[in-house]
Structure 1
C-alpha cells in the first residue's frame, strides 16, 4: 500500500485513558510532530438534534448534556467536536461542568459504570455553514466532513454521541480495521 500521509485510527479515541496518559488527540498529533489541543467552548443541557436524540434513545422531550470543543493542531482550528450524553447519566457529574475532565470523558463514564464497549461511525460531506466557516477559519465555498460516532456499553446502552465537523480539504478519509482474533 502506498503511503497516503497521516492515517488516523479510531481505537484510541473510544477507550478510557489510563491515569497520566495523554489524551488521544495530543498523542496522535505528537506522533506526527505536531501539537494537538482542545478548547472547551461550551457545556450545557439541551434538547439535542433529532438524529442525536434517536441515537441516545431519548424521547422527543429528552435532554442531553453537550460538551462543545474546538480541536486545534499547532494552534490552528481543525475540527469542531460536540459530545452528547444522556442528561440522566451526566447531570450532576463533571460531564456537565464547564471544565476539563481529568482523564477525559470516557474515563469519567467508566468511573460511573458506563464503560464503552462498541462504537459505530458514520461519515458524510456537506457545504459548510457560516458558524463553521468562522470557527474553522475556512472559506464560504469550503465543504466539511461530519463524522458521527455512537458509543455503547456491552448492554448496547448508548452513552455518548460525538459529532465531529472537520475541514474537507481534499484529504482522503481512510479507515483501517485490525481484527484481534484472540479477543
Structure 2
C-alpha cells in the first residue's frame, strides 16, 4: 500500500516485488530477471503491464535492459573517491597520477583521456574564479576510465592570465601535479572550498560518461585559494552515483605545543569571562561545588586593571586564563 492508503497499480506492485528481491539479495548483481512473458503469466496480466513495472526499475537504476537478452540486475563496483587526497604527495612518473595509483592498488586497470582548451568559462566557474566577462580560462578536460568504463570526468579551470605558456597548457598528464606547477608560478594553493551538488546528469554528461537511465550524479566543485585568498583554480568533477563512494577523512585539530602567556587587557574582558565560564562548567560536571555561582564580571575587570590576570594563547588562540588575586 502507498503512504496515501490508495491501492498501488499492478505494474507498481510488480516493480515492488522485484525491487524487494534485489534489496534482500535474492536477485544478485548480474542476475537475469524473469522475461516479460514470465512476469505477465505470474501476475495474470498483460505483457505491457509487465514492461511498465520493469521500466520503473530501469529508471530507478536498479536494472538494465540488454535486448534481446533481457533484463539484468545492475552490477556496481564503485571506486572510492577521496577529495582530501588532492594535497597528498604524488608519484613522480609521467604515466602515473593519484587516480591511476589508487586503482592499481585496488587491482583494477585505470586510464584517462586528457584534452586542453582555451575557452570562455561557464558562469559557475567564472563566479568562483572571480573573473570578468571577457576573461578566458585554460581547461584541462579529463575522463577517467576503470577497466575500460568511463567512471568520472574531471575538468580543471585556470585563469589564462596565470598559466599562459606553462605545463598546464600541454595535453597530457603532469607528473608533478598541477598544484606544483601553480606553486612554481607563484600561486600556491593552500586551501580549498568543496561543494557537492546532487542532481540528474545533463545530456552532455550522460553521453560523455555513457550513463544509463536513472543514474544521478554528484558534482564536486572545488575552488583552490592562495594564502592571500585569491582563487586560482576551479575543478568540476562529475561522479555517477552508481560508480562512486565519496569518502572523507577528518581529524580533530591538535593544539600547538608552545603556549604563550600574556597580560590580559581591558579588551580581553569578554574572552576571560568566556574562558572562566567554560572552566566553571567543566568543574561543575566534576562535582566541584564552589563553581556553582556565575562569573563576577566586575571582579574580573578589577583583576585585569590591577595586572593580576593573564591569558594563555596557543597558535594565537586563547585557551586558558590565570588570575592571581
Answer whether TM exceeds 0.5 for this pair.
yes
Partner residue, 1:136: 209
**Which 5+ residue runs of structure 1 have no aligned equivalent?**
none
Distance 1:16 1:93, change over 3 A: farther
Q: Deviations over 1:48-103 (max 9, x none)?
A: 11121111111122111111000112221100111000110112112122233232
Kept after mapping to 2: 8 A contact 1:65/1:96: yes
Partner residue, 1:23: 97
Work out whether 1:86 is the aligned partner of 2:146. no
Q: Which gives a bigger RCO, structure 1 or 2 (Cα 8 Å, sep 6+)?
A: 1
**Which secondary structure does the structure 2 equivalent of 1:161 belong to?**
strand
Partner residue, 1:54: 127
Partner residue, 1:116: 189
CA-atom RMSD, angstroms?
2.4
Offset of residue 161 of structure 1: 0.6
**Which secondary structure does the structure 1 equivalent of 2:236 belong to?**
strand
Partner residue, 1:75: 148
Q: Relative to total residues, which structure has the larger strand share, 1 or 2?
A: 1
Which is greater in Rg? 2
- TM-score, normalised to structure 1's length? 0.84
Q: Deviations over 1:99-143 (max 9, x none)?
A: 332322222112222222001111111111222222212114321
| Alignment of structure 1 residues 24-43 onto 2, 5 Å | 24-40=98-114, 42-43=115-116
Q: C-alpha distance in 2, partners of 1:136/1:95?
A: 24
Offset of residue 179 of structure 1: 4.0
**Which secondary structure does the structure 1 equivalent of 2:102 belong to?**
helix
- TM-score, normalised to structure 2's length? 0.50
Alignment coverage as a number of residue pairs: 178
Offset of residue 151 of structure 1: 0.9
Offset of residue 19 of structure 1: 3.4
Distance 1:170 1:98, change over 3 A: closer
Q: C-alpha distance in 2, partners of 1:57/1:15?
A: 27
Q: C-alpha distance in 2, partners of 1:182/1:20?
A: 37
Kept after mapping to 2: 8 A contact 1:16/1:107: no
